[in-house]
Amino acid sequence: MIYLRLIYEFMKIGLFAVGGGLATLPFLKDLAIKTGWYTIEDLMNMVAVSESTPGPLGVNMSTFVGFVRGSFLGGICATLGLVIPSIAIIIIIAIMFKKFKDSPIIEKIFFGIRPASIALIASAGYSVMKEALFNFELYSQTNAILDLFKVSSIIYGVILYIVFSKFKLHPIFYILISAVIGIIVKF
């Protein structure tokens, strides 16, 4: 049953994605590869939509994936799956709040998890960039090194990065501009 499968897969994500925001991305990438429910390109579109709508990124992306796979009910199942571990863990912690806050064991475990969680996001970013900025398929056919790079995409990416680090406007703003530029330039 697809709904039970969605709850199960997203409970796993809710249990292991630590750090909020894009922390769910590597798990969703893994799920895409494992199940073929959606492509990496679809996933990037989902990130853009989730960034541009209210609500936490992880919750929005989970609803989106669930919706793509199992329509409205699928979206609900995926999202509930995602938050069930949170609810359980937080309630346990809330009951023994003081102990958790000063626990040296938790501190030690997170010493390892923090860099790992960032590495996973970076790795998901790497797959996404491979898709958007490079053209490995064309390169393997022609073997011409220039065919490997999507030159106009890379140039636009660099410009956007510089502008983005200079002017910290809300991501929606940059997503909208990029949509317009995409229509004009046809990357």
Q: Are 65 and 5 a contacting pair, CB within 8 Å?
A: no
Q: How far is the CB of 41 from another protein (least distance, A)?
A: 7
State which residue, 36 or 54, has the beta carbon closest to another protein. Answer: 54
Per CB under 8 A, contacts with another protein among 163-182 are 164-165, 170-172, 174-175, 177-182
Helix ranges (H only) for 96-170 are 97-101, 104-133, 136-142, 145-148, 151-166
SS3 43: helix
Q: How far is the CB of 140 from another protein (least distance, A)?
A: 17
- Figure out which of the listed residues 115, 140, 141, 169 binds another protein, where binding follows CB under 8 A: 115
CA-CA distance, 138 to 132, in Å (whole number)? 13
The backbone torsions φ and ψ at residue 135, rounded to the nearest 5 degrees and listed phi first, read: -130, 80
Per CB under 8 A, contacts with another protein among 51-110 are 51, 53-60, 63-64, 67-68, 72, 75-76, 79, 82-83, 85-87, 89-91, 93-94, 100-101, 105-110
